[in-house]
Structure 1
Amino acid sequence: MKKFNFLGFRLLFRLERENRDDIQVYSNTYQLKDRVVYLLVFLTIIALSSQLGNIFQRNKYIDKDIIKENIYAPRDVRYKDILKKEEIIKNIVDSSEKKYIYLPEIGLKYSNGLKEFYNEILKLKAKKSKNFDYDLFEENYQLKISPDIVEELLDMSKRQIASQRRELTELLSSVYSHGIKEGETFITTMGGKDFKGKELNNLEFKILDIFTFPNYVYDIEKTKEDIKQKVDKIDDQYTTVKAGELVLKKGEILDKQKLQTLKALGIYSPSETILRFFISAIYLATVSIISYNIITTRFRKELLNKNIYGATFLVFALLFLIFKLFSKDYLYLIPFETGFFLLQILVNSVYAFYFGIVALIYLTPMTNYNMVYFVITLLTILFATKFLNSVKTRVQFINLGIQLAIVKVIIYFSITFLNFGISETLLLDSTKIILAGVFSGVLTLAIVPYLERTFNILSSFKLLELGDLSNPLLRDLSVKTPGTFYHSMMVAAVSEAAAEAIGADPIFTRVASYYHDIGKMKRPKFYVENQEGGENPHDKISPFLSALVILAHPKDGFEMAKKYKIPREIRDIMLEHHGTTLLAYFYNKAKSLDENIREDDFRYSGPKPKTKESAIIMLADSIEAAVRSIEHKTYNNIEEMIRKIIFNKLEDGQLKDADLTFKDIETIIKVFTKTIIGIHHVRIKYPGQDKSKEREEKTNEN
C-alpha cells in the first residue's frame, strides 16, 4: 500500500492482483472480457501515440530529418549506449555455432535396413521368395521403396548384387560416422572433402539416398543457452560526449544512433503540453469504459468466435495504421468506409454499425479532434447502415461507396460553406471525398477474399462461391458418388424452403446441404444411393463393421472439408446432421447375433444440431431418403412419413439444442410436404377420383 500526504490529506493506493481460479480463467466470460480489453487497449495506445506523434512533429529534431545547423554538446555526458550493446548481441547471434544432438541409433537402424534390403533382393534372385516385401520397410523403417529400383537390381547378377551390398554398406557406415546434420542431404554429405573420389552410379546413389537420414539433430535449447551465456557476459556499453563536441553536422540525416545521443544530451524532447496529452488520455479512458460495457453485452457470441475477433482486430489495425501513416492533409482521402464494409460482409450490419462508431470515436484524437470529419463520417455510417442489408453483389458495394461519397460531399460542403464560405480547400477536399468513396468499394472487394481465407469466415460472398457446383469438392461428389450428389441436391431444395419459411438463413442452409454428405466419397459403394446393379457390400460383412463404416462418414466429411478449407460453420453441419441417431437396421441385425451389444456403439457420435439450419438439414436428410422408399407417393403418405420421422427425432432428443419451436416444426412439416410433392410431381387425389383415373394420371405424368 502506497501512502501520500498532501495539504493535511492522506491518500492511500493499493494495487492487488486479481485472484482467479482455473474455472474463471478458462470460462467464456473471461475470454470475452480479455479479448475486448486487448482490443480497446490497442486502440487507446494507437490513439495516444498519435498525440505523441504530434509532439515530435513540432520539434526541430525528428528521425530522418536533415540537420539545418551544427549541433554541439552543451555539457559532458556519459550515457548507456543501448544500440551499441544490441549490435554486439546481434553479431554474437549471427556468428554463434549451432549445437546438435548425436543420435547413433539412426545410423545403426538404417545401416541394418540397407543390409535387410539387399537380403530381400538376394532372396528374390534366388527365388526363395516370390515378391519383394515393401510393407516390411514401410512398417519398420517408414521407407517407400520404388519398384523401379527393385527391378533394376534384379537385372544384375548375384555376384554384382553382393559386391554392391558390401560397398554400399561400408560407404553408408562411413557416412553415418562422418555425421549428417539436420538440414543436410545425402548430396551435401557426399560433396564433402572426406568423400571426394567416391563415384556412384545413378542406382547406387538412389539406394543410399533412401537410407540416409540426419543423425545430428539441431538442439535449439542448447544453442539458445550457449548464446545466452555469451550475451550475459556482455556488460552495458557506455558512450561519452564532451562539452562543446560537435554532435551533428549541418546537412546530416538524423538516425537512431544520433537520436540516442540527442536524447542523452536533453536536446531531443517533446514540447507538447502535458495537459493536452492528459486530457486525451481521460477522453480515451472514458470511451473505453463505455465501449467495453456495450460490446461485451451486445456482441458476446461474435467476439467469442476467435476468427471473427481476429478479423475485427486486423481490420482495426489496418485502418488505424493508415490513419497513423497518412498526413492530416490527406484525411479525406482515407477510405474509412472500407473497414465498415468489411465488418458488414464478414459479420453483419449491426456489428459493423457499432464497431464503426467505436472506430470513429477512437480515431478522433488522431484527426486532431476534427469535428467536421467526425460529423460527416458519423452521418455516413448511419446512412450506410440503412442500405447495407440490401447489398448482395460486388457491383452494389462499389455503387454504395460512390453513393456514400456523394452524401459525404453534400454534408461536408454544407457545413464548411456555412461556416467558412467558399475556398480552394473546400473544393480540394470534396474531390478527395469522391475518390475515397470509389476506393472504399473497390478496396473492400480486393481485401475481403484474403480475410475470408485467413480467418475462414463464412461471408455472404464466400457462401455464393461455395454454392457454385463447379467447386472441386462438389464436382468430385457428383463424379464419385452421383447418388449422394442427387440426394444432397434434394436435401438442399427441401431445406432451403423450410429455412426461409421459419426465418433461418436459407442460403447457408442450401450450401451446407450440398456438403453435408461429402464423407460418403471415402467409401461410396457402402451407401444404397450409390449402389449399382443391386450389389450391396454390407451383405458380405458383419453388421458391426457395417456400422463402423456408416458411422464414420460425418467425421470423414469433416476432415475432408478441413483439408479443402471449408468454413467451420459448414463443417459443423457435417458432424451434426445425424446427431446421435441410432443406426437401427444394423443395431437390430447385430443384436440378433449378440444380445449383449451396446446401443451406444451403433449411434452417431454427434454432436446434436445446435442451430435451426442444422436441425432442418438433419430432418430433410432423413426425410428425403425415407420418401424415396414410399411406393405410393400421395400427399397423405408423404406427410404421414414426415410427421413420423420428426416425432421420432423429437422423442430421441435430437432437436433439444436446436432452438426450434413447435410452431417452427409445424411450418417445416408443411413446407417439406409441399416441396417434396413438387419434386416428385405428385398430384393430390380429389374426392370421387377412382383408381383407374388415378393410374391414368400417373401414367401421363411419367
Structure 2
Amino acid sequence: MTENNNEKQRKRRTFGTRQRTVRLGLFLLLGLLLYASMVTNVQPELLNVSHSEPAPEDIRSPITVEHESETAAREQEALEDVEPVYVHHQDYGQMQSERINAIFNITADVQADIDDEAEDMEGAAEELQEALEQDVDETISADALETLLTVSEDQLTIGRDAARNAVHEVMDEEIAVDDVPAAEEEVEERISRSMGSAQLQAATSEIAARMVTANYLYDNEATAEQREAVLDDVEPVLIQEGELLAREGEIITNDIYEQISLTGLLDEGLSPLPYVGLLIFVGLIVGMIAFYSAQTSSPLRDSNRSLFLYVLVFFIMLAVMKVMSVLNLLDLEGLLWLTPVALGGMLLAQLLSYRVALYSGVLFALAGGVIFNDDASGIFHATFMIYALFSGMAGVFFIGKTPRVAKVLQSGVFIAVTNALTITAFYLLSNAPLAWDSYGLDVSFAVGSGFLAAVLTLGLMPFFETGFNILTKTKLIELANANQPLLRKILLEAPGTYHHSVMVANLSEAACEAIGTNGLLARVGAYYHDLGKTKRPLYFIENQLQMTNPHEKLSPDMSKQIIIEHPYDGARILQEDNFPKPIVDIAKQHHGTALLKYFYHKAKEEGMNPKEEDYRYPGPKAQFKESAVVGIADGVEAAVRSMDAPTTAKIETLVNEIIRERFVDGQFSECDLTMKELSIVANTMCETLKGTFHSRIEYPDHKDEKEKTANGSRH
C-alpha cells in the first residue's frame, strides 16, 4: 500500500513538473513571437548621404536630441550680454577714517615721548615711521613726519578732523579703481580749503590722499551667480523627434549633415541598445500576462490548454498587424486604420473570458504601437495605440460577458462607429484645417476595420471550437439540436430518461438565468446528464413501463453498483465522443457524493450492516454553479413527478427540503453558490414547476426513508 502511495505521489510530482515546464515554454513562445514581430521596427534606420549632395528622401529625426554646438553658441551669446556686477562698499570710508585716527593718535604718543625724553627729531621720525608701518601698515614721507612731530596738539587735532571729514565725504560716493586719482585730488582740494598752515596742509593732504581707495568694486561671486542664472534661462537647442531635417532633393549642407549625424542616422556601428530595450519591453508584456494568469481566476490560471489558445490568438493578432503594417508601406493613405484590432478581444471574449479580453486589449494596443511605428517619428505610434485601445475595448464591451452569435455582426457596427468617432477626434484635436478627402478615406478604413473584425471572428471561431473542443454559444446550440446522435440515443433507448432530462433542462436553465450564470450551458448539460442510463435503461424506473422492477431480484449491493455507475458511464461516453469538458463534468458531478438512501436502508433491513460511504456516489461534488443547479433540478424534477396531487405548497416544501438536504450534506461545498443564490434557485424552480409537471408514480417522502421508492428514479 505504501509503495502504491509513493508511486502516486511520484506521478503527481512528475505531472506537476511537466505542466510547469509546458507553461514556461508557452510564455517563452509568446515572448519570442512578440520579439520577432517587432524587431524590424526597432532597427536603427541608416542613411547613405554625403555633403553637398541632394537628400534621397525626406529626412526626419527619429529621436529628440540636443544640438550641443548650437546650444553652446546660444549660451555664449547670452553671456556676452551679462554686465559685470559692482558693489559699493560704503563701510570702506569708515574704515579709512579709523586709520586716519590711528595715524594721528600714534603721532601724538610719539610727540609725548619726545617731550619727556628729549630725543632728537631724527630718532623720533624713525620711531613714528616704524609705529605707523607696524600698526596701520602705512608709510609717510619724511617731510610729513617731521611736520606732524613739530606741530602742536591742537594743530594735530585740526589736521586729523580735516583729513577724516575729507575722506569720509569723498568716499561716501562710488569710487571705481579708475576714479581713485580724481578722488585723491578732490580730497586734497577739500583739505586746502579748510586749513591755513601750508606745512600742515601738505602733511594732512598726503595722509588723506593715501587713505582714499576704490569702494565700487567688481563682485566676482555675484557676477558668477548672474551668469549662472542667465545660462539657466537659456533653452537648449533640440532636434525634435519627427523634425524635418532635409526635404527630398535638398542639398546636404554642413549644418544639415551635423544634425543628421546627431540623430544617429549615419551610425555605421550596430548598437545593441534598441534590441535590449525591445527585450525589456517584451519581457514586461509577458511578465504582466504571467502575473495576471497567476493571480486571477481566469482560465489561464490552471489550464495550459487555455494558455496555448491565448498564445495562438496573440500570434494571430501580431500576424494581422504585421501584414497590415507591411501593406501600409504602399503609401495608400489611411490604410493602417483598416487593421482589425478588435479581432483579438472579440475572440478572447468568446473563447476564454471577458476579463482576459479586456486586459489583452491594452497589450494588443502596446504591441501595435511598435509594429506601426513606420508612420511615426519615434519608436511608438501613439495615435494608433489610442485607436487600437478604443477599438478593442468597443468589441469586448459590446459582446459582453455572455457573448451570443448574433452579437458578433452587431458588434462590427458598434466598433465601426467607435472607430469613426476616434478618427474624427484625432482630426479635431489637431486643430488643422479639415481635409475632407483625407478625412473621408481615414473614416472609411476605420469603419471597414469594425466589419472586418466581425467577419474574421465569425470565420475563425469554428476552427478554434473544433481544434480546442471549446464550449461556445455556437457549440452549445449545436449540441442542443435534437438530431444530435447522443440525444437520439437517449430518446430511442431510454425515452423516460429523455423526457426527464428535458424537464431538468427547463428547470436548470431558468434557475441559472435567474442567478446570472450560463443558462444555455445548464440546459445542454441537463440534456446529457443521465446519458449513462442508456447502458442499462430498464434499471431506472422512468423507463419501466408495465414490467417488473429488476431491482426486486437483486441484492442492495448489486442495485447500488448499477445506480452509482450511471454518471460515470455517461461521462465516459461523452469523453469518447469528444464532448466539451463542462458537459462531461455536469454528467459526472450532478450527484456529487450523495447517499443512495433507499438501497442503504434496504441493506440495513436485510441485516447486511452496510457502511454509509459504500452507498455514496464517489463524486466529485459540483465544481461550478451550473453543475450544482443541474443536480438540484435532477432531484427536484423526479421528486415532484412522484407526488400525488401536488399543490404549490407541497412543491415549495419539497424543493426547499431537497436543497436543504444537499446543503447540509455538503454537496455545495466545492462550488461558489451563495445562500442568496440557492434561495433564488428554489423560487425559480417552484415557479417553473407549477405548469410543467404531470402525474407520476408517488415518490417517497424524504422523511419516510423506509418506504419503498421508485428504484433509482432520482439517481
**Aligned counterpart, 1:511:** 524
Q: Deviations over 1:363-390 (max 9, x none)?
A: 3222222222111111223333432228
Q: Is the 8 A contact 1:498 1:667 kept in 2?
A: yes
The 5 A counterparts of 1:70-81 are none
Q: CA deviation at 1:678?
A: 2.2
Describe the SS at the equivalent of 2:691.
helix
- Residues 1:284 and 2:282 aligned together: yes
Distance 2:358 2:461 in 1: 18
Distance in 2 between the 1:479 and 1:471 partners?
A: 12
Distance between the aligned counterparts of 2:271 and 2:436, measured in 1?
32
Inter-partner Cα distance in structure 1 for 2:43 and 2:384: 22
Are 2:395 and 1:384 aligned?
A: yes
Match for residue 46 of structure 1 among 26, 34, 42: 34
Paired amino acid for 2:619: G
Query: Partners of 2:34 and 2:408 in 1: how far apart?
Result: 29
CA distances 1:471-501 after superposition (whole Å, capped 9, x unpaired): 2222221222111111111111222222233
Judge conservation of contact 2:33–2:315 (CA < 8 Å) in 1: no
Aligned partner (choices 363, 369, 390) of residue 368 of structure 2: 363
Conserved? CA contact 2:341–2:391, under 8 Å: no
- The 8 Å contact of residues 348 and 354 in structure 2, kept in 1 or not, is answered as yes
State the alpha-carbon separation in 1 of the partners of residues 412 and 309 from structure 2: 21
2:348 counterpart of 1:337: no
Q: Which letter does structure 1 place at the counterpart of 2:320? A: I
Listed as ranges, the gaps of 5+ residues in structure 1 are 1-20, 61-268, 683-702
1:104-136 CA distance string (max 9 Å, x none): xxxxxxxxxxxxxxxxxxxxxxxxxxxxxxxxx
1:337-360: CA deviation from partner (whole Å, max 9, x where unpaired): 221111111123222111121122
Query: Which residue is equivalent to 1:538?
Result: 551
1:56–1:563: structure 2 CA closer, same or farther, 3 Å change rule? farther
User: In the alignment, which residue of structure 2 is the partner of 1:328?
Assistant: 326
| TM-aligned CA deviation for residue 58 of structure 1 | 7.2
Provide the aligned length of Structure 1 versus Structure 2: 454
Match of 2:358 in 1: 353
Segment drifting more, 659-668 vs 559-568: 659-668
Per the alignment, do residues 549 and 325 of structure 1 end up closer, same or farther by CA in structure 2, a change over 3 Å counting? Answer: same
Paired position in structure 1 for 2:536: 523
Q: Is contact 1:37-1:292 (8 Å) kept?
A: no
Deviations 1:596-639 (A, max 9, x none): 44333322111111222222211211121112221121222222
Distance in 2, Cα, partners of 1:566 & 1:532? 31
Measure the CA separation in 1 of the matches of 2:360 and 2:405: 22
Show CA shifts across 1:498-523 (max 9, x none). Answer: 22333333222222111111111111
Indicate conservation of the 8 Å contact 1:54/1:272, yes or no: no
Larger deviation, residues 31-40 vs 643-652 = 31-40
Query: Retained in 2: the 8 A contact 1:307–1:456?
Result: no
Question: What are the ranges of 5 or more consecutive residues in structure 2 without an aligned counterpart?
Answer: 1-8, 49-266, 329-335, 374-379, 696-715
Aligned to 1:131: none
Aligned residues of 2:35 and 2:279 also touching (Cα < 8 A): no
Pair 1:49–1:502, CA change in 2 (3 A): closer
Question: Equivalents in 1 of 2:294, 2:553: separation in Å?
Answer: 57
Q: Does the CA contact (< 8 Å) of 2:27 and 2:290 recur in 1?
A: no
* Aligned counterparts, 1:371-410, within 5 A: 371-389=382-400, 393-410=404-421
Contact persistence 1:342–1:444 (CA under 8 A): yes
Aligned counterparts of 2:557 and 2:32: Cα–Cα separation in 1? 60
Q: CA separation in 2, counterparts of 1:567 and 1:506?
A: 16
1:614 aligns with 2:644: no
Equivalent pairs: percent with the same residue? 31
Distance 1:411 1:301, change over 3 A: closer
Distance 1:600 1:282, change over 3 A: closer
- Aligned pair in 2 of structure 1 residues 418, 523: CA closer, same or farther (>3 Å)? farther
Q: Which amino acid aligns with 1:621?
A: D
**How far off its partner does 1:413 sit?**
4.6
Secondary structure, counterpart of 1:310 in structure 2: helix
- Counterpart in the other structure of 1:574: 587
**Cα distance 1:42–1:310, how it changes in 2: closer, same or farther (>3 A)?**
closer
Q: 1:49 to 1:58 in 2, by over 3 A?
A: farther
| 1:128-176 superposed Cα distances (whole Å, 9 cap, x missing partner) | xxxxxxxxxxxxxxxxxxxxxxxxxxxxxxxxxxxxxxxxxxxxxxxxx
What's the CA shift for 1:572?
Answer: 0.7
Whole-angstrom CA distance in 2 between matches of 1:23 and 1:534? 49
Shift of 1:295: 4.4
After TM superposition, the structure 1 = structure 2 runs for residues 198-213 of structure 1, keeping only pairs within 5 Å, are none
Distance in 2 (alpha carbons) for counterparts of 1:24 and 1:495? 36
Q: Deviations over 1:179-220 (max 9, x none)?
A: xxxxxxxxxxxxxxxxxxxxxxxxxxxxxxxxxxxxxxxxxx
Aligned to 1:668: 681
Note closer, same or farther for the CA distance 1:319–1:667 as it changes in structure 2 (3 Å cut). Answer: closer
Which amino acid in structure 2 is aligned with residue 481 of structure 1? A
Letter in 1 for 2:426: I
Q: How high is the TM-score relative to the length of structure 2?
A: 0.57
Equivalent residue in structure 1 for 2:314, among 306, 313, 316:
316
Q: Which amino acid aligns with 1:389?
A: G
Amino acid at match of 1:371: A
Structure 2 CA distance, aligned partners of 1:649 and 1:40?
46
CA-atom RMSD in angstroms: 3.5
2:651 is the counterpart of 1:638: yes
Which amino acid in 1 is paired with 2:343? T
Query: Shift in Å at residue 31 of structure 1?
Result: 6.3
1:287: how far off? 4.2
- Counterparts of 2:45 and 2:553 in 1: how far apart (Å)? 82
Residues 347 and 459, structure 1, Cα contact 8 Å, conserved in 2 = no
Amino acid at match of 1:452: E
- Deviation per CA, 1:405-464, whole angstroms, max 9, x where unpaired? 243234225425746853876655544333332221111111112212222222222222
Tell me how far 1:640 sits from its aligned partner. Answer: 2.5
Cross-structure match for 1:691? none
Letter matched to residue 419 of structure 2: K
What is the TM-score of this pair, normalised by structure 1? Answer: 0.58
**Residues 429 and 25 of structure 1, relative CA distance in 2, 3 Å threshold:** farther
Q: Is the 8 A contact 1:308 1:457 kept in 2?
A: no
Q: Distance in 1 between matches of 2:484 and 2:43?
A: 54
Aligned residues of 1:577 and 1:608 also touching (Cα < 8 A): yes
After superposition, residues 133-532 of structure 1 pair within 5 angstroms as: 273-330=271-328, 331-368=336-373, 369-389=380-400, 393-416=404-427, 418=431, 422=435, 428-532=441-545
Distance 1:271 1:399 in 2: 52
For the Cα contact (< 8 Å) 1:491–1:513, is it kept in 2? yes
The SS at the match of 1:304 is coil
C-alpha distance in 1, partners of 2:692/2:294? 46
Given that 2:640 and 2:693 are in contact with CA atoms closer than 8 Å, whether structure 1 keeps it comes out as no
Q: In structure 1, what residue type is equivalent to 2:510?
A: A
